[in-house]
């Protein structure tokens, strides 16, 4: 590890990754934002899914001040963050064949909707099957993943494919396999993961693009305001009433 405190070096690594995704994924961000704007304009619904820590970036765009009111969390019991004990159960569930299909069959997703699937490795059965099944139902899929895993690891899905292989748009987070940015001679394992920082930034970049694209078309983007500013609750109530048939986190 070069000169600088561990904190400095982590910030440097995270900033470097953010610069890479800003520059290298600009076209994909525009495509993803356009896809979501198309979905909203056509009356479709928006969903986000992630398992384990990938769920954090999905949750960050749902019911979010400054965010799109139409983003709904597609939750799979047992894999939403680290909400089960033991936490290792969530990792095991990601490798279960058939789970994604069962979830989608009982979810409100339908043809014409859009689903963002976040999976750092994109190799486990759950995100791969989620993308495959969703597209077979006529749902547009945006994948947020580290493409490097497809060349440096093997798939855990029976098809031998990765999440990136079953998406309408792929956003590459550029995160190195293992998700640890720092090393130190006195520490036997690499440490300091940056995937949450980068993936959340990618998601917010897509949300911003979606809102601006809708506005360019003369459509007021259905944005939420903070409930901690005067008038925020009233604003949100109006938006939720207008789009109530496309918002599922209120039910």
- Residue-wise pLDDT for 212-242, tens only, equals 999 999 999 999 999 999 999 999 999 999 9
Q: Which residue has the higher pLDDT, 135 or 92?
A: 135
Q: Record the pTM.
A: 0.95
Averaged pLDDT score across all residues of the chain:
95
Report the alpha-carbon distance of residue 209 to residue 2 in Å, rounded. Answer: 37
Phi, psi of 198 (to 5 degrees): -70, -45
Report the alpha-carbon distance of residue 47 to residue 44 in Å, rounded. Answer: 10
Note the pLDDT tens digit of each residue in 35-73.
999 999 999 999 999 999 999 999 999 999 999 999 999
Q: Is residue 3 pLDDT above 80, yes or no?
A: no
Taking the CA atoms of residue 220, residue 237, residue 50 and residue 221 in that order, the dihedral angle to the nearest 10 degrees is: 0
- Under 8 Å CB-to-CB from 215, ≥6 apart: which residues? 221
Q: What is the pLDDT of residue 85?
A: 87
Report the alpha-carbon distance of residue 133 to residue 128 in Å, rounded. Answer: 9
Report the alpha-carbon distance of residue 125 to residue 170 in Å, rounded. Answer: 18
Q: What is the pLDDT of residue 250?
A: 81
What whole-number percentage of the chain has pLDDT above 70? 99
Note the pLDDT tens digit of each residue in 192-219.
999 999 999 999 999 999 999 999 999 9
Q: Which of these ranges, 92-106, 119-133, 173-187, has the smallest mean pLDDT?
A: 92-106
Report the alpha-carbon distance of residue 48 to residue 64 in Å, rounded. Answer: 13
- Asked whether the beta carbons of 76 and 50 are under 8 A apart, the reply is no
Q: What is the pLDDT of residue 19?
A: 98
What whole-number percentage of the chain has pLDDT above 90? 88
The total of other beta-carbon atoms located within 10 Å of residue 238's CB is: 11
- Residue closest to 49 by CA, chosen among 70, 89, 79, 69: 79
At residue 251 the predicted structure's pLDDT band, cuts being 50, 70 and 90, is low
Coil, helix or strand at residue 123 = coil
User: Tokens for 120?
Assistant: 């750092």
What is the DSSP pairing of strand 46-50 with strand 169-172? unpaired
Q: State the helix-helix crossing angle for 26-41 and 6-24, rounded to 10 degrees.
A: 60
Q: Is residue 1 pLDDT above 60, yes or no?
A: no
Q: What is the pLDDT of residue 185?
A: 92
At residue 82 the predicted structure's pLDDT band, cuts being 50, 70 and 90, is confident
């Amino acid at each position: 590890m070069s000169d600088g405190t561990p904190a400095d070096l982590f910030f440097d690594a995270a900033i470097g990754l953010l610069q890479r995704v800003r520059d290298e994924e600009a076209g994909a961000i525009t495509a993803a934002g356009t896809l979501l704007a198309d979905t909203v304009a056509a009356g479709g619904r928006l969903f986000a899914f992630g398992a384990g820590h990938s769920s954090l970036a999905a949750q960050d765009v749902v019911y979010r001040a400054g965010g799109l009111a139409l983003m709904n969390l597609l939750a799979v019991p047992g894999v939403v963050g680290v909400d089960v004990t033991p936490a290792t159960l969530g990792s095991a569930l990601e490798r279960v064949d058939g789970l994604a299909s069962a979830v989608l069959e009982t979810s409100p997703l339908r043809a014409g909707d859009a689903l963002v699937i976040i999976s750092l490795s994109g190799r486990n059965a759950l995100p791969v099957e989620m993308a495959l099944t969703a597209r077979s139902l006529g749902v547009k899929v945006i994948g947020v993943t580290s493409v490097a895993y497809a060349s440096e690891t093997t798939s855990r899905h029976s098809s031998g494919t990765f999440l990136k292989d079953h998406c309408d748009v792929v956003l590459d987070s550029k995160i190195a396999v293992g998700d640890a940015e720092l090393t130190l001679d006195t520490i036997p394992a690499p440490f300091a993961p940056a995937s949450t920082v980068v993936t959340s930034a990618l998601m917010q970049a897509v949300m911003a693009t979606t809102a601006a694209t809708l506005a360019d078309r003369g459509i007021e983007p259905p944005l939420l305001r903070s409930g901690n500013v005067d008038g925020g609750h009233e604003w949100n109530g109006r938006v939720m009433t207008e789009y109530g048939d496309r918002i599922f986190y209120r039910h």
